Structure 1
Amino acid sequence: MSLTVAVVAHRKKTLGAGLDRLRVLITEQDVGDLLWFEVPKSKKAPKKVRKALKQGADLVFVWGGDGTVQRCADAMASSGVPMAILPAGTANLFATNLGIPLDLEEAVRIGFHGRREKLDLGVLNGEHFAVMAGAGFEADMIAEVDGQAKKRLGKLSYVKAAVRHVGGPLVPMKIEIDGATWFDDRASCLLLGNVSTIGGGIEAFDDARPDDGWLEVGVSTAKGPIQWARVIGRMAGGRSDESPFVRITRARKVSARFGAPLTYELDGGEREATTRIEAEAVPGALTICLPPDERS
């Protein structure tokens, strides 16, 4: 039976020979209807995803980076319709964690012929995320990096922003894990993870898996360049939870209150400052197309 296939593409993102090549690759398959949507920015994508689902899409290809994937995952959560990621962004952390290559032909092949798995999402203040969410130092750093800087400097843009923010103040935080107080002190960053690896191949959460039904939770009390260098060094060369400036646990639900408004982010996308965060794991919320399991 022919599939109804949808493409939701951030038209400013690039991968391989581009969107024209993608159209050819898809039409070479046994496709019935092809629903094609291009958007100028990631925040326009959810409306197109919902339209595709309403029109009966059996498979949705998402062309873009983590921000586009996050917006589409939020719209596709619990729909049961598989998402196939075409990693065309500057940062493709979700695709990288899942083993989806930066190769257009292979990513399309995985979409049509790869295995389907139900993976967890997190939801923070009512919005789903696939990779990580955070407040404080990490979110301020991401907020400073605009699209042009990311395009021009890539990962270096995040490094430059990090250097400018390491001297920021510690903020009072009270964090509850599954209803019990876990942290009540001053901190520079709260991070929630669904997967292990963040930018540059650094593992922020060594034991994270996107199919275990948990959110990883980390809080850092590091302040200044020396302490933050020690934190990043520990992440790169050992286990994050061995740093004296980091506490890590896991949770089904997380509630946090901040002593001052903090910017927060979802999968690299900035959101408005808040003094309150409510988050939880949503097991099996997103059906995703993955490479064949080499163990099988």
Structure 2
Amino acid sequence: MTKSSVKAVMVVNTKSRSGQRSFERARARFAELDYLVDAHAVENPEQLTQTVTTALQSDPEILIIGGGDGTISCLVDLIVGKGVRLGVLPLGTANSFSRSLGIPLDVDGAVDVIVNGAPRRIDLGMIGDDYFANAAAIGLSPKIAETVPHLAKRWFGRAGYLSWAALQFVRFKPFTLIVGSGAEAQRLKVVEVRISNGPFHGGTELVESAKLDSGRIVIQAVKGPLKRRLIHNWAASALRLKTRHADVVEFSGKALEIATEPPLPISIDGEVLAKTPTIAKVAPGVIEVMAPRD
């Protein structure tokens, strides 16, 4: 089958930080490569689910989603079991899912992966019955996600996001994490919990043991009770210092019961969509995504 005969649909969240400009560039680049794409720009994020649902009725071979990590996780549920491959245009602030796959963060590079890359079968994480692509979090990240003004991310990118994060950090308090149940439950004081299907959180590689095709979910807890441990862990991870491992405890498995005291919200790839207690688990090999050949 020639590239030009591949049946592809592209749905782009043009309210994402670089959405509209990137949508036009992606369409132009696909045309240059003689790659036929039925393209849809969606300005209202509330219409994304319906747009993708309608697009899937045409039985495409590839569904290309353009947006940030939250957009991808919101829509990935719709392709499980549909036999359609996922293509990714990373248009968000952190683009952790694309980083985990090695997809270039520029439009032309991402388009090249969709056209010339190879399908890779990967796992999805799950919180309860909700699939997610890359990572979920408990602690500071949901607090930021619940309160950050959308325009701060769109206009100022990671700098605006980090400035807002610093403000929320001042108000944040450590909490107790409980993994498992009954007599075997483990309790520890923590400042952040990362529920990981992939290694990147917030654009930084934090959970190196998490892989998109490992068949296991990883829970990484940054130990408390001092909030400065979280700052140290983020900085040490960004600088690739060996001391980053001293701040964390990890659990892994196919399914893990988790609770917190007090009950707390859970952000899933940047969107607050659940709360504790819950079960974090992995759905092994449930979708295919276009990834770099190497």
Residue-by-residue CA offset, 1:198-238 (whole Å, 9 max, x unaligned): 2353x211222111111111122334443323322443333
Give the alignment's TM-score, normalised by structure 2: 0.86
Match of 1:81 among 75, 81, 84: 84
The equivalent residue for 1:207 is: 209
| Correspondence list, 1:171-190, <5 A | 171-176=175-180, 181-190=184-193
Q: 1:161 to 1:17 in 2, by over 3 A?
A: closer
The 8 Å contact of residues 96 and 134 in structure 2, kept in 1 or not, is answered as yes
Indicate conservation of the 8 Å contact 1:120/1:282, yes or no: yes
1:140 aligns with 2:143: yes
Q: Are 1:72 and 2:75 an aligned pair?
A: yes
State the SS of the aligned residue for 1:219: strand
What SS does the aligned partner of 1:190 have? strand
Tell me which of 140, 147, 165 is aligned to 1:162: 165
Say how many residue pairs are matched. 288
Q: Name the residue aligned to 1:230.
A: 232
Deviations 1:56-76, CA, capped at 9 Å, x for gaps: 111111111111111221211
Distance 1:9 1:93, change over 3 A: same
Q: TM-score, normalised by structure 1?
A: 0.86
Is structure 2 residue 35 aligned with structure 1 residue 44?
A: no
Name structure 2 gaps, 5 residues minimum: none
In structure 1, distance between residues paired with 2:173 and 2:236: 22
Percent sequence identity is 25
How many Å separate the matches in 2 of 1:30 and 1:209?
A: 34
Deviation digits for residues 173-221 of structure 1 (CA, Å, limit 9, x no counterpart): 32129x98452244332210111122353x2112221111111111223
Determine helix, strand or coil for the equivalent of 1:110.
helix
Alignment of 1:111-150 (within 5 A): 111-150=114-153
The one-letter amino acid paired with 1:20 is: E
Give the conservation status (yes or no) of the 8 Å contact 1:166–1:225: no
* Coordinate RMSD, CA, aligned: 2.6
Q: Which amino acid aligns with 2:229?
A: Q
Once the two structures are overlaid, the 10-residue window that deviates more, 58-67 or 73-82, is: 73-82
8 Å Cα contact 1:173/1:187 also seen in 2: yes
Q: Is the 8 A contact 2:114 2:290 kept in 1?
A: yes
CA contact (8 A) 1:136 1:188 kept: yes
3-state DSSP of counterpart to 1:207: coil
| Partners of 1:148 and 1:57 in 2: CA distance | 33
String of CA shifts for 1:120-171, please: whole Å, max 9, x gaps: 1101122111111012222212322221111233222333333332553333
Which residue does 1:260 correspond to in 2? 262
